[in-house]
Amino acid sequence: MENKDPFKEAVKGYLEQLASHDDLFAKTMEKPNKNIDDCATYILNTVKKSGRQGFADDEIYSMAIHYYDEDTIVVGEKISARVFINQPLAAPVQKAVSNPKCASKNIDANQTTLFI
């Protein structure tokens, strides 16, 4: 089973979506000397050089587009890093709890209550 990198998957998904709406960029992504692994390495090296620890999504995506646009770009050395991405996680499923004490209380329809 292949272990997918969420960072690379997020960048790749954005670039593929961009390519689906932009024919010129779609041709740019087809360059034989370009790939998502080197793109991620370029982004990580650029982030490291900046000295910053937080970036907006658009900043990272701009770096990816720049990597694909430039033919003579220096990718840099591979970096082993922990990357946190802003993707919503699925909410945990909560089971409904039946409380017999609550069912037997007489609640006045005109009364507002926070506790049942």
Instruction: Return the closest-CA partner of residue 7 out of 66, 87, 68.
Output: 87
Residue 64 contacts by C-beta under 8 Å, 6 or more apart in sequence? 11, 14, 15, 39, 43
Residue 22, domain extent = 6-69
pLDDT digits (tens, 9 = 90+) for 64-104: 999 999 999 999 999 888 887 776 544 555 555 555 555 55
Does residue 80 fall inside a structural domain? no
∠ CA 4-52-70, nearest 5°, is: 65
Report the predicted TM-score, pTM, of the whole model to 2 decimal places: 0.70
**What is the phi/psi pair of residue 108, to 5°?**
-70, 130
Coil/strand/helix, residue 6: helix
pLDDT at residue 1, as a whole number = 47
- The total number of structural domains in the chain stands at 1
Does residue 33 fall inside a structural domain? yes
| Total length of the chain | 116
